[in-house]
Every structure is written in structure tokens, then in C-alpha cells.
Structure 1
Amino acid sequence: MTAAGPSIAERRADLEREFAPWRPRTLDEHFEHAAARFGPRPYVIAGDRVLTYDDVLHQAHRFADGLATLGVRPGDHVAVLMANYPEYAPLKLAISRAGAVAVPLNYLYRTHELGFVLRQSCARVLITMTSYRDLDYLAMLDELAPGWTRAGSIGFGDLERVITFDAEGRGEGRDGVADVPELARIGAQNPGAAPGGRRHPDQMSDIMYTSGTTGEPKGVQLSHDALLRQEYGSAFCRALPDGNRVVFALPCYHMFGYEHGVQATTFVGGAMLPQPRFDAGEYLRAIERHRVNDVLAVPTMSVALVEHPDRANVDLSSLTRMLSAAAVAPTWLWERIRDDLGVRELTTAYGMTEVAGATVMTQPDDPLEVTASTVGRPKPGGAAAGSAGTVAEYRILDPVTHEPVRPGETGELVSRGPTTMLGYWNRPDATEATLRDGWLYSGDLGRVLGDGSLVITGRSKDVFKSGGELVMPKEVEDFLTTRPGVSQAFVVGVPDDRWGEAGCAFVVAEPGATPDPGQLLEACRSALARFKVPRHVFVLDTDAVPQTPTGKVQKFKLVPMAQRLLGADAAAVRALSPAEPA
């Protein structure tokens, strides 16, 4: 015990006393266990609305009974299109209790994207918001499946029924279409229609779609046990204390928000404060009002928090830990999180949907330089660990020969462990290419330092060839972010008649700075091998960088952006960022 409360070791021991040895459960069985332990405690806090563990369990039972009464059978796929509203958690549990497979959807999808995933996932039921911001989902359905309001054969893939959710109470539903309150009423009239126990922990729980950072999203099949092992591992690695309270605006449909916000919380009887949209001021006010001690963020959110004008006027004394991941954060940002927000336990992580979340993580007591320069070591899983003592075992292989590289050399990360996906839904070729002899080939490049920490150096698909030489963008990006005034850097290869591909760098300025592209190019020429030096540099606002809703940069979209910029005004581009002399 320390002056600040139980130590990291003591908190981990508390978790192990409850969960060792590991007992595989389904998601709904796990929450039944959590509710039995923490029933009257708050689980979901949304402004003035508080749902306890008992409340959420009661709602989940009613929703599950409603789904079963409406014809949802074990193994059916139920898609959920919903932002971070309190109803998300009980609906997700209800799908599990009914024995169905959840298909969480990105609520920023446009019509063609929504149509693709609904068809590809073979969703039989869709639970959807009526609208969100400028997105009208009912109008999208009108375009995709004009007969969608009639339950039965809608005529769009396997879809048979839509259930709506009018989050803002605007009366946006459709006549004859059940909504979420009606689903609860149907369940109340048919108690026991979904008795639970309809799936095995090793069976598929979710089909979670990749974020599309490299193109078309793929549906990742994950088991109940894989998800719970990963989520327990995160609670164990971060040593979450009893009653941990976490605020986040990362979407619940995405692995980051789901693993660390929705689920890890339940192992310690904590509460989550899911935000439907990110607002730094709302984060700060929630921390003060509800005595939040944990924050989930991506670097762009972290910048907004430390730069917010009200930060100094808000009581942040309860805040002790933060997980900032999904993109590289510069050292100055970590220092400001520590110094300006008072966070003592800083962590970052690396993972993939294909391994059910974060498999590599820094420790809460790691020195700041480790958190700022690496993504940590393979995550200790405690009771939920595999045979290696971690949730995943890693190797680094040469991306061409697939032989192990020498210590310290860069190669492709491959892993295996109990949280590995079952495969991609209806994508046997993609599954075969990714899962080989029990190992998952990530497509990510990295190297291991002497202390076992992992440094991510890029994506194998990001590597490009310029003048016959292979260029690893991450090496150039890391150099550019050391230059004064540069917060983030992204390098891509664009087609070039002379070089085959030419490097193009996009940089984001630090607050108040104005980087000069010419000076950045000169710095690259003096420090990097000639073939690594970008031919062009563009300075972008943060909002102009194409990102997924969780802050991952969609680098494949930067290539056509560069081509448009180069083609739109080639003379201006050359003046802005002259090519390296031949």
C-alpha cells in the first residue's frame, strides 16, 4: 500500500484472487458474474443518467427476451449501429444472451459502406439509430432496401428486420417498425424467451470490422473467450483499481473503446462514462463532476485536452491514469499529460482487431521515455494468459523469407495466442493469407529493443521503392517529428516517372508553429540517405489528415491526396518543396 492507495502489485493480486484460475465464460455469463459482485454500483454514467450493474443486467434480459420473441435464433447475426449511448451496453449483452452474433458497425458509414457491411456480414437483424449528426440512417435504408419497413424478406441480403433507436427523441421512427423501447416491452411480456447459455465460450461472439486503414474492411470473427481474456489482460496490465471510472469518446463499436472502456471496467466493478462525441471541455467537466480517474484517448484528443483553455480551472485531482494509443504521440505531449493533467500512470499500447485488442502495452510504472518511444512489451495476461505468460507470443520475421531476423533488426510481427481471431467472415483467401500454421501475420513492421520493448516501424504495405531502393516511411516520419514545430508526420510513396515512386511527406504543425517545407527537406538531406529523402512536403491541419473515427490515419487516402496536390498546381508544389538534386 502506498500513500496514493494500493500499489500496482496489490491491485493485480486483487484481480488474480477473483479470476485465477481462468474460467472461460460467454460475454453475458461474465456480466452476470460482475452484476452478482457489484450489482448496486454505477456501471454507465451519462450526464444525470446513471445505470447500475443491476439496471444494465435487467435491461439486457428484457432486450434478449424481446429479440428471441421477434425470432432471433442462436447463431443469427445482429448488427448494431449506435454511438456511445447508455443503451449500447445492455443491447450488446442481450445479443450474447440470445445466443446471436453481434456485428458492431461504424456509425460514420455512408450509404454504400453501410450496404457493403450489411450484405457481407449476412446480418439478419439491424438495430440502428435513426440519425446521428448529419447522417440519416433511415434515408440510407430507403436507398439500399426500399422495403425495409416490412419485417420478413426485405430483399437486401439476409436482412429481415430493422429495430430503430431515436437517441435524441425527435420522433424519427417509422410506422410499423419496432424501436428499442418497444423491444423492451416485448421482452417484458415474454420473460424467459432467451434463457441464456446458448453459446459456448469458444464460439463466435462478434464480427468486428477492421477500420479500413488499408482499404476494404474485413469482418474479424472473435470468440467470447478471446475477447474476455484480452479485456482481463488489459485490466491486469494497467492494474485497474477497484471502482475505476473511465471517460472516453472512442466508439464502443471499435476495439479500443470496447476493450478498455466497456469491458475492462467490469472486472473491477468500475463505471464508464461513454461520450457520444469528443469534446475536450466535456471530458474535463466529467472528470471533475464524477471524480473520474482514468481517460482513454488518441493523440489528437490528448492534444485537445492539454490545450483546452478551461483546463487550469477544472479540478482534475481525481485523475491518475491515461491510455493514449492508436497513433504515435510526440514526447512533448506525454510530458504535458503528466505535468498539466497530473497523470501518474501513463500507458500506450499496440494491437489489432484480429487479436481482439491490445497485445502489447507499456506498464503503468514505466519511465516516460519508454512510453514515448515504444509501445511496450507483450502484455502480461495474469490468469488469462497463454502458455507464454502473455496474451500473445510474438516473433519478428523477415517479410520476404519469413525467417526470424537477428535481434534488433526490423521485420514483420507475427503472433499466436488464445485471443487470435477465428478468421475473416466469408473471406477464406484473406484468412489463409493472414493465419498460417497457427501464427497471425500482422503486416506490421517492428523491432525489439534490448529490454524487450517493441518499436513499430510501419506497415509492410506502406513500404515503397524509390530509385530501386526500399523506403520504410516510419524511419522518415520519426526523423521529421524531431524537427522543431512538427507534431506528426506521414510519408507515402506516389507514382513517379523518374523514380518509380517518390516520397511525399505530410506534416502537422505543433500548436502555434509554422514548419517550413524547404527547411524540412534540407534537414532530411543532411540526415538521411538520399533515396529516403521525400521529394515533396505538405503542411496540413490536423483536421485535414484522413482518419478513422478512432484516430488511425488512413494512409492509403494520402496517396490520391498527394496526386491531386501535385497535379493541381505542380509549379507551386515545386516552389514549396523542391525535389532533391539528381
Structure 2
Amino acid sequence: MPAPITDRRAALEARHPVWRPRTLDGFLDDCAAEFGDRPLVVTDDRTLTYAEAVAWSDRLAGGLAALGVRPGDRVGLLMANHLEFVPLKFAVARAGAVAIPFNFLYRRDELAYVLRQSRCTVLVTMTGYGDLDHLALLDDVAPGWEQGPTAELPDLRAVVALPTVHPARPGVTTVEELGALGSPVAAGTAGTTPGDLGDILYTSGTTGAPKGVMVTHDGVLRTGYASALTRAFEDGRRILFSLPCYHMFGYVEGLVAAMFVGGAIVPRLAFSAADYVEGIERHRATEILCVPTMTVALLESPARAGRDLSSVFALLSGAAPAPVWLWEKVRAELGIAEVTTGYGMTECGGAMTMTLPEDPLERHATTVGRVKRAGVAGLPDRDGDLCAYTTCDPLTGEELPAGAEGELVSSGPTHMLGFWDKPEETAAALRGGRVFSGDLGRVRDDGYLEITGRSKELYKSGGELVMPKEIEELLTREPGISQAFAVGVPDDRWGEVGCVWIVPEPGATVDPDAVLALCREKLARFKVPRHVLVTTSGELPTTPTGKIQKFRLARRAAEVLGG
């Protein structure tokens, strides 16, 4: 076991006595100067040290410059947790560009939208993942992309391929070739500052289309440091996860946080309990990142029998609350003594609150933690807290007394600059420098947050946010469907799953299996609803003004499916 929690926090604070705002590439260089020969990324067949990551990102940044990438340009990364993601991510920063890690499960229409909306100049993509052929998807989105800009994607000048499931096509630059295209670029060459835009991360939005959340270099680093301090990282922590780095979870809570203590990440391409068990034993991981469904799968897996999992003593869980019994089993059966859970939004810069590893288990089950400890990276007037939370009336916006339930509102140095090219949505969510979350909750007297509901229609399935409007718009374009209403319903394994209520057109019939097949064809896997229920317009619950009461549809669906 590592040193006591208080000693670990003290050591981390001694290592960082003042906060030095840095760019992401400058941060990598500083880490390499201190931890050069240590592993940064560990996979089953390769290891990348900090020093190697610097050298590789230098070369890749030179290649991006040779392709015409200039400071402020946007570079898309369509990539699972391959080792190459890390040097590519820092290479984009080194070139002065903005990284946009896309959800690699996007289907055609979803990918087309984010590529157009972001106005990417270069896309670095895997050739495929699972049953997805990403080059074929690009063919559908923008025929002729290999030759340069197209009518569909006029800003996309070049595509770089990482051969994975399929080989790269002749004439398409590979990641390996990218590193040889230009001269290496050193950190600071592009003139980027810590307060500049560093990343755009797409998240589901209230309009049904994803919104690009703009975060700064310094904001990402502050969140990562606060996580390491709150979770009491020991020197060299080794974090295993399959959560993708297009999410703040894998990117910040995994990669960035580990770097503050010269740690390493053990990224996995997909989750299976057997793979987690194999990875923990083989690479001696000390912490795992999970959502509750993954934790349950680990506990139920026969793959644990006879395996040495003694290295892992910490677990960070997110996405959904979990009962006390789950954490009791984690301690008793997995031997994991330190559990943390958290809450946050991409718009805030990731997880803003966390339970502490020394908290009683009841607190992990009934709250989402207190604001992260950030020390020198936090708010001086809040005793080093990462941000400040208040509540307001969700209808009037009026601030409520301390401890009152209302919409959670936060402010702090990690919060977003806004939504990319969406001024109206930015104005609605970011008011007076504060992010209005759309989540209902309260701040307890002890500083811990309780989430009591959502004022938005989003629901979370297996840790992924789903916007019902995307599903509804897809289905109502189909012949025979008059109306569609997607809601989230409770599920023991996934937290929530989708259920769609369908109102057929007069005289038409709807085949639920056909509805699900269409969703599987057109939507990313996590957006595909689990259930389809057919109703009539007269049975829809409405307000006196005729607005559909979706909370009643969700309640009715839960009753029907549960009974």
C-alpha cells in the first residue's frame, strides 16, 4: 500500500508550491525534464516514455505544419485509446492548433455534422474500429476527400490515417509518415499562451445537435492537478481505463492527472471485465477508472479467479450514482480500499466535485462529493477549491439561499470559453462568467453536493449523454411515424436506457423491431434506445397548453416495462 493519504497530498503540494500556467505542450516538456525515462503510456505490446512522447510530438507537429496547419486551426482526432493518441494530442498543441477529439462511434450523419461545424483543416483518423470503417464513412460524408477540400467539407485540407482494422489507402498520409513530413517543432514556437483555446470537446446539446465546448490549456491542467490532489496520488500512479479520451474522464482524470506525479496510463481499446483483469495483473495498475456498470461486470466476472490484482488499490467512478452495497463489494471482493466518485460537465472543464478516498462509503452513495481540492491551482478566496457552486431558481435565475435545492450554477478558472460557433447557446449557458448546469441539486452544509434531478431532457446511458431530440428527429422523418418521444428509464446495469414512445400516422402500423434496426443503422451505439412503445396522440400526457409532459412519459414507460 502507498503512504497515508495526508502524506501523499503533502508531497504533491510540495512538488507544486506555486501554480505555473502552461500550455499543454509546455507541460509535457516539463514532465519529460523530470520524468524522462519513465513510462507515460503502457499497452500490451508497446511503452512510450515521457522523453519519447516529446520527441514524437515534435516530429508530428512538424508534419502538421507541413500540411498547412497554422496556429488557431482545428485538427480533428477520430481515434480510440491507441498509444498514438497521446503524442498526436500534444503535437496539435505544439503546432499552436486546437485539438478536437471526436467520438469514434459516430455514424455518417453525426460525423458529417461535427466535421462541418468544427471546420477542421486536418483530420487524423483510425482506419476502423470494430465494425466501423472510418475511411468508408468519409467516402459517404465527402466523396473525393483524398484529393483535398470537397463541397461537403470545404475546410478539410488533409486526412491522416492510423492503420488499425484496415490498411491505409494508397496516397493517404499515415501517422508514421506524418512525423517525417517536416522539421521538428519545439514547444513555444507557435506563440500559444496558457489562456488560449486548446481543445474543443463535443457534447450533446439542447438543440439535438452536439455542441463544441471550448476549454483552455490552463483550464485542463488545473482540473487535472485538482484531481491528482483530491485523489491523493502517490508518485508514479498507474491508471488503467477503457473510457475514451474524447471525454474529459479519460483525457483529464486519466492522462493529464497522472502526469503530475510522473505516472502512466494503461489505455484499453474497449471494456471487458476479462481485459481489465488481464491489464491490471500484467501492468500492475494501481487505479482503475470505471462507471458503475463496468464495476458490476468486474465483480461478476469469473475471469478474476486465480488472478493477482493486488496492485490496484484505487477506483474512480463516474457517470451515475451507485449504492453502498456496490462499494462494500468493491472493497471486500476486489481489495480496493480507496473509492472516489464525482460530478461535473464538459462545460465546467470536467469533474468539479469528488468524494474523498477517505470518505465513508455512505457518502459515495448519497452525494457526488465536494468541490475538488486544487490548492495553488484553485480559487484563493475559496481556500483553494477548484470552483464555487451555488443554486438558483431554474425558472427565474434568482440565486437561492445556501442549502436550498435549485439549478446548480458554478464558476471557476477551468470553465469553458463558450460553445464553438454557437453564440446563442453560449449566452444561455454561460451568464456572467457562471455556467448554468441544467441539473437540479443542493450544496449541503458540509460542502457536499447532492444531485436531485435534471431540468434538461438529457439522460445518461452507460456514462454517455444522450439527447432525445436526435432520436426523435430521426424517427419522425420515417413514413408511418407521426410523433416520437424518447425518454430515459432506469436500468440496473446501464443507469438509464432509452425508451421511445411512437405515435403512428392514421392507418399506419409501426414495427418496434424495425424502429430499433433503423436506430442501430443511423445512430452511435450508445444512443440506440432499448425499448419501443406504441401509443396514440390522445394518450399523450400534456400540459393545459398542449406541451408534452415527458417526465410523465418516462414514469409511464418505467411502469409499463417494470410491470
Q: 1:87-486 residue pairs with structure 2 within 5 A?
A: 87-151=84-148, 156-168=153-165, 170-171=166-167, 173-187=168-182, 190-192=183-185, 196-211=189-204, 215-387=208-380, 388=382, 389-462=384-457
1:340-377 CA distance string (max 9 Å, x none) = 11111100000110111111110110000001111011
Q: 1:503-518 residue pairs with structure 2 within 5 A?
A: 506-509=489-492
Are the aligned partners of 2:409 and 2:437 in contact in 1 as well (CA < 8 Å)? yes
TM-score for both structures, normalised by structure 2 = 0.82
The CA deviation at 1:462 is 4.0
The CA deviation at 1:214 is 7.8
Change in CA separation of 1:509 and 1:386 when aligned onto 2, cut-off 3 Å:
closer
* Distance in 1 (alpha carbons) for counterparts of 2:345 and 2:88: 24
Change in CA separation of 1:38 and 1:413 when aligned onto 2, cut-off 3 Å:
same
1:111-133 CA distance string (max 9 Å, x none) = 11001000101111100111111
Change in CA separation of 1:355 and 1:106 when aligned onto 2, cut-off 3 Å:
same
1:395 partner amino acid: T
Are the aligned partners of 1:46 and 1:86 in contact in 2 as well (CA < 8 Å)? yes
Change in CA separation of 1:430 and 1:193 when aligned onto 2, cut-off 3 Å:
same
* Distance in 2 (alpha carbons) for counterparts of 1:125 and 1:255: 22
The CA deviation at 1:16 is 1.6
TM-score for both structures, normalised by structure 1 = 0.80
The CA deviation at 1:136 is 1.1
* Distance in 2 (alpha carbons) for counterparts of 1:277 and 1:5: 29
What's 2:75 paired with? 78
1:518-548 CA distance string (max 9 Å, x none) = xxxxxxxxxxxxxxxxxxxxxxxxx99x99x
Q: SS at 1:310's partner residue?
A: helix
Change in CA separation of 1:331 and 1:192 when aligned onto 2, cut-off 3 Å:
closer
What's 1:9 paired with? 6
Change in CA separation of 1:135 and 1:407 when aligned onto 2, cut-off 3 Å:
same
Change in CA separation of 1:289 and 1:402 when aligned onto 2, cut-off 3 Å:
same
1:458 partner amino acid: G
1:503-526 CA distance string (max 9 Å, x none) = 988343579xxxxxxxxxxxxxxx
Change in CA separation of 1:440 and 1:577 when aligned onto 2, cut-off 3 Å:
closer
The CA deviation at 1:57 is 1.2
* Distance in 1 (alpha carbons) for counterparts of 2:152 and 2:143: 9
* Distance in 1 (alpha carbons) for counterparts of 2:556 and 2:196: 56
1:564 is the counterpart of 2:522:
no
The CA deviation at 1:218 is 0.3
What's 1:525 paired with? none
1:460 partner amino acid: S
Q: SS at 1:338's partner residue?
A: helix
Count of residue correspondences? 499
The CA deviation at 1:42 is 0.9
Are the aligned partners of 2:342 and 2:368 in contact in 1 as well (CA < 8 Å)? yes
The CA deviation at 1:279 is 1.4
Among candidates 49, 54, 73, match of residue 52 of structure 1: 49
1:156-199 CA distance string (max 9 Å, x none) = 1311111111024x42x222211101101224xx2348863520
Change in CA separation of 1:282 and 1:19 when aligned onto 2, cut-off 3 Å:
same
Are the aligned partners of 2:241 and 2:267 in contact in 1 as well (CA < 8 Å)? yes
C-alpha RMSD of the superposition = 3.2
Are the aligned partners of 2:60 and 2:91 in contact in 1 as well (CA < 8 Å)? yes
* Distance in 2 (alpha carbons) for counterparts of 1:79 and 1:428: 22
Change in CA separation of 1:423 and 1:5 when aligned onto 2, cut-off 3 Å:
same
What's 2:66 paired with? 69
Change in CA separation of 1:10 and 1:163 when aligned onto 2, cut-off 3 Å:
same
Are the aligned partners of 2:70 and 2:95 in contact in 1 as well (CA < 8 Å)? yes
Q: SS at 1:418's partner residue?
A: coil
* Distance in 2 (alpha carbons) for counterparts of 1:567 and 1:46: 53
Structure 2: runs of 5 or more not aligned: 461-465, 473-484, 495-515, 540-554
Are the aligned partners of 1:69 and 1:193 in contact in 2 as well (CA < 8 Å)? no
Change in CA separation of 1:461 and 1:552 when aligned onto 2, cut-off 3 Å:
farther
Change in CA separation of 1:161 and 1:575 when aligned onto 2, cut-off 3 Å:
closer
Are the aligned partners of 1:97 and 1:198 in contact in 2 as well (CA < 8 Å)? no
1:33 partner amino acid: D
Change in CA separation of 1:94 and 1:192 when aligned onto 2, cut-off 3 Å:
closer
Q: SS at 1:409's partner residue?
A: coil
1:385-421 CA distance string (max 9 Å, x none) = 0232211111011112222334443200001110010
Are the aligned partners of 1:394 and 1:415 in contact in 2 as well (CA < 8 Å)? yes
The CA deviation at 1:334 is 1.5
* Distance in 1 (alpha carbons) for counterparts of 2:556 and 2:36: 65
Select between 446-455 and 283-292 the one with higher mean Cα deviation: 446-455
Change in CA separation of 1:364 and 1:264 when aligned onto 2, cut-off 3 Å:
same
2:267 partner amino acid: P
Select between 101-110 and 330-339 the one with higher mean Cα deviation: 330-339
1:190-229 CA distance string (max 9 Å, x none) = 2348863520000000111114698321000111001100
1:309 partner amino acid: P
* Distance in 1 (alpha carbons) for counterparts of 2:488 and 2:320: 17
The CA deviation at 1:562 is 6.2
Are the aligned partners of 2:408 and 2:439 in contact in 1 as well (CA < 8 Å)? yes
Change in CA separation of 1:11 and 1:197 when aligned onto 2, cut-off 3 Å:
farther
* Distance in 2 (alpha carbons) for counterparts of 1:417 and 1:552: 34
Q: SS at 1:456's partner residue?
A: strand
The percent of aligned pairs where both chains have the same amino acid is 49
Are the aligned partners of 1:147 and 1:155 in contact in 2 as well (CA < 8 Å)? no
Structure 1: runs of 5 or more not aligned: 464-472, 475-489, 496-501, 512-542
